[in-house]
A and B are shown apart, each in its own frame.
Chain A
Amino acid sequence: MAMEVTQVLLNAQAVDGTVRKQAEENLKQFQDQNLPSFLFSLAGELSNDDKPVESRKLAGLILKNALDAKEQHRKLELVQRWLSLDPSVKTQIKACLLKTLSSPALDARSTASQVIAKVAGIELPHKQWPELIGLLLSNIHQLPANTRQATLETLGYICEEVSPDAVEQDHVNKILTAVVQGMNSSESNNDVRLAATRALYNALGFAQANFSNDMERDYIMRVVCEATLSPELRIRQAAFECLVAISSTYYEKLAPYIHDIFNITAKAVKEDEEPVALQAIEFWSSICDEEIDILEEYGGDFTGDSDVPCFYFVKQALPVLVPMLLETLLKQDEDQDQDEGAWNIAMAGGTCLGLVARTVGDDVVPLVMPFIEENITKPDWRQREAATYAFGSILEGPSPDKLIPLVNIALNFMLTALMNDPNNHVKDTTAWTLGRMFEFLHGSALETPIITQANIQQIINVLLQSMKDVPNVAEKACGALYFLAQGYEDAGSSSSPLTPFFQEIVQALLTVTHREDAGESRLRTAAYETLNEVVRCSTDETASMVLQLIPVIMMELHQTLEAQKLSSDEREKQNELQGLLCGCLQVIIQKLGSSEQSKYVFMQYADQMMSLFLRVFASRSATAHEEAMLAIGALAYATGADFVKYMPEFYRYLEMGLQNFEDYQVCAITVGVVGDICRALEDKILPYCDGIMTQLLKDLSSNQLHRSVKPPIFSCFGDIALAIGENFEKYLIYAMPMLQSAAELSAHISGADDDMLEYTNSLRNGILEAYSGIFQGFKGSSKTQLLMPYAPHVLQFLDSLYMEKDMDDAVSKTAIGVLGDLADTLGSNAGPLIQQSVSSKDFLSECLSSDDHLIRESAEWAKLAISRAISF
């Protein structure tokens, strides 16, 4: 039943567009007409050594794409399709794939490896293809090296594709044995050894049991460490990649090996080629990540019974690790500051030094200071830059007590360097370092200020001056100003030290946004972001100046909307700018809208702003939509009930946003804005509710919409119900069953990883907020009895949440509140039901004695509402 597909596959890669299109059409027809035959033909093509390698490779890729897709919904369809295929066809296809592993053509073997892993990914969890692992393992002992190489690669891909619990421990042991044997220095073929090393990288997740066994672990670690010394660069690199993966997966098992690993990594950093040296540095960055996490979790006081103990590897290695990293700082590339994608040993070393400082704190300072003092005044720019970078790196981690005296000395030096150093690279790093000083050592929480009445003028002068420098330096100067402003965030409402400079700063930032070269090095974005922060941290004193910004920014936005006949590149930039301008207006609206006085004045611009935002929706850019939507949400809140006048025009964009599955952030933000509008309009939103509810219900039943949008949609039900009260009646028959089934799903968490738990809790919270809003919305209406039929389920949901014991504080607070809302609204009618529920007793009393005052408060409320309901 196989068909001849070679020519079609070759045509599908033709240079001639018409030929290519025709071939693609043919393939599609074939697939639609007879899928089993199509797949089998492709497998046959892939396995046939007489065919050209191009057609074989494409055959394999099409086969792979017939088994897997990025998009979750599509992926599930493809899995089902494969599972329901005729078993005899599948057997034939699989035989072809396994046969291909012995092909002399590398590309064919490699493609087959990937397809086998995809099939395994579908079948092994269903206990199908049980002989696969055995067959592969038997290949390992075959003589031809290419078969062994392809088989090891396949095992690696399988480990990446399949979850460890789908493979029995006996097979895991055998896979690891085969892989580690392949890595061993006794393996003479480099391709085999490389494939084995890469396979180990993927198999590490399967090796929990083996890493718990001292002998097996010793052996694996020995082989990995030996592989880092291989004469073959790619093998050394792959071996270090394994070490990096081991450092995060098996941190707690590393103690016996850390000394040797330090020596290996130090040697690699000093002597090896860059790809290897980068991995060696990454090992220590990854150890820092682990220890920072552990130390954060236990708040620094590590006790013997903690889950994962901290071994203080970084602290122990410090005296040798720090000099090693400082050495790397001197190996900068000339133009790394202009190159977005740059990553070199100096950058990796500096980044690692920053992580080391966060891990060990004060101890790093005396080890770094001599290097800084030695180099910072040297004629070679590399030395000055390295010294400055070292200083900037250690500003997060050590205590302010330790750092502030140093910063007080360095600040003046840095300001001078930023003005006068002849080298752009040094200036870039200097401006960045100033930013770090302000980020970590300036703010109301610190007792001794580094910025004082005496030096603020000079600091601001230098930064504003530096904003005229080359784009990458100017961008860092904007960043420094961002953190300078942020430090005055809670300086008090009346007066900020920035007030005398406010006008000048705003003017300078606006000038930067107009620079010809503002598109380089993210400069324009940085300038607007700094403007935003300056506005956020401003006080009443400067409210009138913030107000004056509105027409300026509106004019800019207006101009972007007027621009015509743009190239697609120009349009993209225009959209980006629209996003930034909407973002800026959003910040201003939020700032001025939060005070009654300034709100009154700025509302004069509301109409104009709204019409500009609506025009932004005409663009195709998701980011611009998102920013405009956020700005409208802020405006709705500030405007209150008067926002109703914008609704006729705004509504269709609201609907559009709710339909935007593809850019799910836009959808999520629009859902949030519906909430804003509900609170602003209250029952005046009623005429729009049919449309909104329809769209929200569609969103919920869609498989395409990103799951993170679903919890806010449920919360939004609550917002709507609270706004329109008993008018929510007609949506009950749709919303309640959805809430009910989501509640059932979310009551028990399947596959308890942290992400899932977090998501489930946010889903629960959304569902509960919906219930809360609905009950409160119906409160005081004559139609409360409509909610009675749902009460048993709601109480059951609360009970099962309580039994599961895995809700977070936010969910507890909302859940106990719902109990109160139910009692409050249904009153005595629900009395007996409430009294039967566990929630009304154990859960309630637990919440009443909670440490969290928000939970206690909700519980007090629930207690009161219940006592009223059952006293009748």
Chain B
Amino acid sequence: MAPHDLRRPFKRAAISDQQRRRELSLQRQAQHRRDAQHQARCLASFLNPHSDPDPEPEPETTPEPEPEPTDSPKELDVRHASKLKGAEARKWFARQLMLPEWMIDVPDQLPQDWYVFARPAGKRCFVVSSNGTTVSRLRNGSMLHHFPSALPSGARTKDSSGSAQSYSILDCIFHESDQTYYVIDMVCWREYSLYDCTAEFRFFWLSSKLAETGACDPPSQYHRYRFSPVPVYNCDQAGLSAAYTGAVPYVKDGLLFYNKHAHYQTGNTPLALVWKDENCSQYVIDTDSKGQVPSQQQVVLELQDNGNLSTSDDPPVVFGCLDQAFIEQTESRSGNLLRFAIGDGGLNFVDGKLEKADLHYLGKSNRARAFADSYSKVG
């Protein structure tokens, strides 16, 4: 029945440092758990076949069979994706970028539904800022730069505007001569995923958010490379002409066309297109490692389990087939990327479908390649 102790803390700080240490640890752990969870979610969505936001309609012929296992054994484990190295990282990162097809014909509604901009010449890469640092990775997954930047959580500075752990992902082209990252798309901003946003929204977000951070400022101690948006135009007469002939601070490498309503889709998509000609690109045709234009058109194809050679399209287009003896002789394995020259026979089409291609084996592809060419590039 004793009443409470009268004594109150006297000349003491209310919280002990020990309590503080405990709480800071708990905060750190909770934060890391959140990050791990978040990472798993973001990565997961692109590794799984279910993740394709615009799946091919299945022909409704057979009744639904037993659910297939959702993954092939080759498929990577989600939680590892961020730490992947070597070939696996290349494979994973290659799938993260949205890759344009070659523009073969003019899409309907081009002026209404499409954007156009001049593609900067340089290395296409993903720039990820998180946890106080910024990393750029080429489309083959190898690291280009590791640096501090003014992007959110991109450097170890006190950034009052958000959690130190928040992260952002930008789709960029690194332009050597002015050491600038030209941002062509925004994939994730302060942990807010833009994958499922239309290009229209992503470009709007990009133009309004990027400058806010100071990422477009000249380099400084905590901001090693400048970032810059590229001017994007509607695909009307004026826009096309501005993109095609207008002056830009960078060397142009073709024109990129983005469908305004398309989400950020990883891999090849017909909703982003590239056009190159002599006027707007120095690199119309592949060069070999010495910068020489090869005499024959070359193509890189992926060897399948059944010996088929296919493109990187989804579904893949089969160009030919290797026999077992040839596979053994070249020590090729399923999944290898092989380089072929297209011979004088060229490509033969029957009813609009590729029937036969005249391929000559040149060798294995450069190890840095992560994927085969797409059909539209070859065609």
Q: Are B45 and A782 in contact (CB under 8 A)?
A: no
15 more A-B residue pairs beyond the given contacts A245-B3, A785-B67, with a C-beta to C-beta distance below 8 A: A343-B6, A494-B157, A540-B156, A590-B28, A637-B28, A672-B25, A675-B33, A715-B33, A722-B40, A769-B37, A777-B79, A781-B70, A782-B71, A861-B193, A869-B50
Q: Are A776 and B44 in contact (CB under 8 A)?
A: yes
Closest B residue, CB atoms, query A823 = B50
Chain B positions within 8 Å of A247 at CB level:
none
CB distance from B288 to the nearest CB of A (A): 38
Closest B residue, CB atoms, query A195 = B1
Chain B positions within 8 Å of A24 at CB level:
none
What are 28 A-to-B residue pairs whose CB atoms are below 8 Å?
A: A201-B3, A241-B3, A244-B3, A343-B7, A347-B10, A494-B157, A494-B222, A583-B17, A583-B18, A590-B24, A627-B18, A630-B21, A634-B28, A672-B25, A672-B26, A679-B32, A682-B83, A683-B80, A772-B37, A780-B44, A780-B47, A781-B71, A825-B44, A829-B67, A860-B193, A865-B45, A868-B50, A871-B55
* B350: interface (CB < 8 Å): no
Chain A positions within 8 Å of B196 at CB level:
860, 864
Partner of A780, one of B22, B53, B77, B221: B77
Chain B positions within 8 Å of A494 at CB level:
157, 221-222
The 3 closest A-B CB pairs, nearest first, are: A529-B17, A782-B69, A776-B40
Q: Are B79 and A723 in contact (CB under 8 A)?
A: yes
Q: Are A780 and B48 in contact (CB under 8 A)?
A: yes
- Enumerate chain A interface residues (CB-CB to B < 8 A): 153, 156-157, 160, 198-199, 201-202, 241, 244-245, 278-279, 282, 285, 341, 343, 347-348, 350-351, 428-429, 432, 435, 439, 476, 479, 482-483, 490, 492-494, 528-529, 532-533, 540, 579, 583, 586-587, 590, 594-596, 623, 626-627, 630, 633-634, 637, 665, 669, 672, 675-676, 679, 682-683, 715, 718-719, 722-723, 725, 769, 772-773, 776-777, 779-782, 784-785, 817, 820-821, 824-825, 827-829, 857, 860-861, 864-865, 868-869, 871-872
Q: Are B45 and A824 in contact (CB under 8 A)?
A: yes
Chain A positions within 8 Å of B67 at CB level:
785, 828-829
* Interface membership of chain B positions 49-87, coded 1 if the CB is closer than 8 angstroms to chain A and 0 otherwise: 011010100000000000101110101111110010000
Partner of A857, one of B53, B83, B160, B192: B192
CB distance from A778 to the nearest CB of B (A): 9
Q: Are A160 and B21 in contact (CB under 8 A)?
A: no
CB contact under 8 A between A722 and B37, given known A351-B8, A351-B10, A682-B80: yes
Bound: A285/B5 CA distance, A: 13
From A347, A623, A630, A715, name the one whose CB has the most chain B CB atoms within 10 angstroms. A630
CB distance from B197 to the nearest CB of A (A): 10
- Enumerate chain B interface residues (CB-CB to A < 8 A): 1, 3, 6-8, 10-11, 13, 16-18, 21-22, 24-26, 28-29, 32-33, 36-37, 40-41, 44-45, 47-48, 50-51, 53, 55, 67, 69-71, 73, 75-80, 83, 132-133, 156-158, 160, 191-193, 195-196, 221-222
Q: Are B44 and A824 in contact (CB under 8 A)?
A: yes
Q: Are B132 and A769 in contact (CB under 8 A)?
A: no
Q: Are A864 and B33 in contact (CB under 8 A)?
A: no
Bound: A583/B17 CA distance, A: 9
CB contact under 8 A between A490 and B158, given known A244-B3, A590-B28, A725-B77: yes
Q: Are B55 and A872 in contact (CB under 8 A)?
A: yes
CB distance from B222 to the nearest CB of A (A): 7
Q: Are B37 and A776 in contact (CB under 8 A)?
A: yes
CB contact under 8 A between A725 and B25, given known A343-B6, A824-B45: no
Chain A positions within 8 Å of B79 at CB level:
682, 722-723, 725, 776-777
Bound: A772/B83 CA distance, A: 21
Q: Are A864 and B32 in contact (CB under 8 A)?
A: no
Q: Are A780 and B32 in contact (CB under 8 A)?
A: no
Closest B residue, CB atoms, query A783 = B69
CB distance from A814 to the nearest CB of B (A): 9
Closest A residue, CB atoms, query B83 = A682
Closest B residue, CB atoms, query A630 = B25
CB contact under 8 A between A532 and B17, given known A675-B33, A868-B53: yes
From DSSP, what is the main secondary structure of chain A's interface residues? helix
Chain A positions within 8 Å of B3 at CB level:
201, 241, 244-245
Chain B positions within 8 Å of A348 at CB level:
6, 8
CB contact under 8 A between A282 and B6, given known A493-B158, A829-B67: yes
Bound: A175/B107 CA distance, A: 89
Closest A residue, CB atoms, query B157 = A493
Q: Are A780 and B78 in contact (CB under 8 A)?
A: yes
Bound: A493/B164 CA distance, A: 13
Q: Are B50 and A827 in contact (CB under 8 A)?
A: yes
Q: Are B33 and A780 in contact (CB under 8 A)?
A: no
Q: Are B1 and A157 in contact (CB under 8 A)?
A: yes
CB contact under 8 A between A780 and B70, given known A637-B32, A725-B77: yes
Bound: A432/B79 CA distance, A: 51
Q: Are A719 and B132 in contact (CB under 8 A)?
A: no
Closest B residue, CB atoms, query A160 = B1
CB contact under 8 A between A784 and B222, given known A583-B17, A722-B79, A779-B44: no
Chain A positions within 8 Å of B132 at CB level:
594-596
Chain A positions within 8 Å of B71 at CB level:
780-782
Chain A positions within 8 Å of B160 at CB level:
490
Closest A residue, CB atoms, query B34 = A854
CB distance from B194 to the nearest CB of A (A): 10
Bound: A821/B83 CA distance, A: 21
Q: Are B24 and A596 in contact (CB under 8 A)?
A: no
Chain A positions within 8 Å of B70 at CB level:
780-782, 784, 827
Chain A positions within 8 Å of B48 at CB level:
779-780, 824, 827
Bound: A229/B34 CA distance, A: 60
Bound: A590/B28 CA distance, A: 9
CB distance from A239 to the nearest CB of B (A): 11
Q: Are B29 and A675 in contact (CB under 8 A)?
A: yes
Bound: A528/B37 CA distance, A: 35
Bound: A117/B251 CA distance, A: 90
Bound: A590/B48 CA distance, A: 36
Chain B positions within 8 Å of A244 at CB level:
3
CB distance from B54 to the nearest CB of A (A): 9
Q: Are B22 and A630 in contact (CB under 8 A)?
A: yes
Partner of B37, one of A429, A773, A781, A871: A773
Chain A positions within 8 Å of B73 at CB level:
782
CB distance from B53 to the nearest CB of A (A): 7
Q: Are A722 and B36 in contact (CB under 8 A)?
A: yes
Bound: A817/B44 CA distance, A: 14
CB distance from A225 to the nearest CB of B (A): 18
Bound: A482/B3 CA distance, A: 35
Closest B residue, CB atoms, query A275 = B6
Chain A positions within 8 Å of B29 at CB level:
633, 672, 675-676
Bound: A772/B36 CA distance, A: 11
CB contact under 8 A between A596 and B133, given known A278-B6, A343-B6, A829-B67: yes
Chain B positions within 8 Å of A435 at CB level:
13
Closest B residue, CB atoms, query A202 = B1
Q: Are A725 and B156 in contact (CB under 8 A)?
A: no
From B21, B67, B71, B160, name the one whose CB has the most chain A CB atoms within 10 angstroms. B21
Chain B positions within 8 Å of A719 at CB level:
33, 36
Closest B residue, CB atoms, query A281 = B6
Chain B positions within 8 Å of A241 at CB level:
3
Bound: A490/B160 CA distance, A: 9
Bound: A777/B40 CA distance, A: 8
Chain A positions within 8 Å of B10 at CB level:
343, 347, 350-351
Bound: A43/B76 CA distance, A: 73
Q: Are B7 and A776 in contact (CB under 8 A)?
A: no
Bound: A681/B100 CA distance, A: 38
Chain A positions within 8 Å of B222 at CB level:
493-494
Chain B positions within 8 Å of A718 at CB level:
33, 37
Bound: A528/B16 CA distance, A: 12
CB contact under 8 A between A679 and B36, given known A780-B75, A868-B53: yes
CB distance from A213 to the nearest CB of B (A): 25
Partner of B1, one of A156, A529, A868: A156
